[in-house]
Structure formats: structure tokens, C-alpha cells
Amino acid sequence: MENFETFTENIKNRILDFMPEEYQAASVEIKHVFKNNDEKRTGISIRKEGWMTAPVLYLETYYQMLREGNAETEVLGRLAKEYSENDHVVPQNTGELIPDFETAKERLWIKLAGKESNQKRLEGCIYKDVEGTDLVATFQLRVKLPGLNEGNISVDKQILEKWGCSVDSLYETVLANMASQMPAQISDLSSSLTGEKEIWKPEEVSCQAGRIYVLQNAGERYGASTLLYPGVLQTLAENSGADLFILPSSIHEVLVMKVNGAEAKELQRIVMEVNRAELKSEDILSNQVYCYNMETQSLSCATTKEETQELLEEFSVWGMSEEPIEQEQFEQEMER
């Protein structure tokens, strides 16, 4: 069976034969897009003559169809059908997607990412380093596309210049809006696993020794950013009378526990094992464990660089499990 590279080239060369008549003068291009943790996706863009933009349809799932025994003509037919059914939702005046800042700030949110593991993806983005950690806060703008619920655009330098604000002011404004629109919520991990989840506000929780808590937002999506919400970690620490360990469960949530004799390195080992065995690469936030200091009101990495390197070498000997690929159908391609 042909490899993925050959499959991609064949799709590029043959797809127009399966597209409707109005596409016959279209230009076909293969796109390589970097997702979270620089996970590379390969997509196809079919731009009609005179169009400024076109959707990007990712090809990994269609290759899986081929591997499962479907004929290449069947795969091409499926791809062509799904592409032609959805290309009308892409607006041609992309500038209209970017509102003025007063309107946009209600649609902005922060997505946390690991800085070292996202070098490619961060090249075109505006971001802010999270002091004391290996994390950065990136900014996403929710946009409404005709025929679709929502799309997301990463805020870049051009958008920031249009708005006329600084990264710091953007960061403060977005965090304040997120805390209001998607407030932080906490649940007990053990009860969540048994299906008896009880949700509290941060001010209602005093972390108990030996118990682990899940911190996320009310939407339960990209909720790891709640650790940045003003006052959340300080309130938890003061209620608990102790510093806190923060374990990055995924980009959607973090785990919080009271510092009470636990070995930071062993906690980091657990984080790495979960990342390796349980999560898709695109959902991994970091291999680090963080400590929140109640007195200084600051975050820091809970282990040394040497300890982290020892664990990374240990896991490299074990090998990494094969991760499933999650299909993401269409992405708005911005060309400005």
C-alpha cells in the first residue's frame, strides 16, 4: 500500500477529476499546519479561480480510509463531496472577520501552550510568557462563519496593530472577560471519576491533604488557563493554609493538590506517564509540575531541569505509545 506522502501527492493530482464543474480551474495546494505541541497536520486547499481564501481539509482521516481497505477512488469521491459541501461557508473578505477591539474583546480567550514544544506554531502568534513556568498564553478570537457555529483565529501582530493595544493590556482584558464569561470551577477528582461530580467555586474550597482537585472553566474546554485567573490560586492556597502543586492534566484542565510531603519528581513522573499513555499529542499541555507559593503569590516549576531531564531520558528508553489522530475537518485559512 502507498505511503502517506504518495497518497497526498495522488490526492493533489487527481482531486479535480472528482470535483464539480465550477472547480475545474481551481488551484490545488497541500498545506502543512502546526497544531498544539507542533503536531503537524497535512491538508488540502482547493481555491476557486478569483477566490482569496479556501478551506483546508485535513487528509489523515482519508488516508486511514485507504488503510482500512477503501479504494482510492472511493476516498477521492468522499473528500470531493465533503469539500464541495462546505467551501461556501468561507467568507472572501477575511478582514470582515476581525471586529474592532471593543467588539472583539468579548470573543477573545486564552489558550495555554508549552513554549518549547510549540516553536513552529508560535511563529505567527502573539503570546505572553507565564512567569516562572514553561508555558505561554496565546490569544484566540472566536469568529462566526456562515453555515458554521464558530471558528477560531489566532491573534497575530497585524490584528494587534489593528486594535492598537499592547500584549500586556490584551492579556489583562482577556483574563478579566474569561473570568466573567467562563468562571473557574473546581471538583474533586475521585468523585468526578465515579460520575458523582460536585462543582464548587474556588472560594468554597479548602484543599484537603491527599485529595486531588480538578480546576477548569465552566465550559470545560481549554480550561487550563483558569490557573491564570486573578486570585484563583491565591484563594485556594489561603483557604488550604498551604502552597499548592499544579499538575497539567491537559490543555482543558489542571489538577490541584495541597503541598503536604508529596515528592514533586514522583508527581512529574505521573504527569509524563499520563501524557505518554492517555493523551493525544494535541491535548498535552506540559511535562512539568508547578508549585504555587502562597507567600510570594507566584508560580514556579516544582522540579529542577536536571530532574526533568532524568525523567525524559527514562521515558525515552521506555518508548512513546502510538497516539491516535483526531480529525479536524475545516480550518479558516487567513492570507493577509
Can you give 265-325 as a three-state secondary structure string?
Answer: HHHHHHHHHHHHHCCCHHHCCCCCCEEEECCCCEEEECCCHHHHHHHHHHHHHHCCCCCCC
Indicate the helix (H) or strand (E) that contains 58: strand 56-58
Average pLDDT over residues 61-81: 93
pLDDT(335) > 80 = no
The whole-model pTM stands at 0.79
Q: Which has more confidence, 169 or 152?
A: 169
- Strand, helix or coil at 224? helix
Q: Give residue 98's pLDDT band: very low, low, confident or very high (50, 70, 90).
A: confident
pLDDT(144) > 80 = no
Least confident stretch, 33-47, 86-100, 133-147, 246-260? 86-100
- The string of pLDDT tens digits covering residues 164-179 is 999 999 999 999 999 9
Q: Give residue 145's pLDDT band: very low, low, confident or very high (50, 70, 90).
A: low
Query: For residue 233, what pLDDT is reported?
Result: 98
Q: For residue 228, what is its C-alpha cell?
A: 491564570
pLDDT(143) > 50 = yes
Listing DSSP states for 99-133 in one string gives --HHHHGGGEEEEEEESGGGHHHHTT--EEE-TTS
- The string of pLDDT tens digits covering residues 99-125 is 899 989 889 999 999 999 999 989 889
Distance CA 114, CA 127 (A): 11
Question: DSSP state, 34?
Answer: E
Distance CA 203, CA 186 (A): 10
Distance CA 97, CA 151 (A): 10
pLDDT > 70: what percent of the chain?
88
Q: Give residue 40's pLDDT band: very low, low, confident or very high (50, 70, 90).
A: confident
Query: For residue 49, what pLDDT is reported?
Result: 80
Query: For residue 147, what pLDDT is reported?
Result: 45
Q: Give residue 320's pLDDT band: very low, low, confident or very high (50, 70, 90).
A: very low
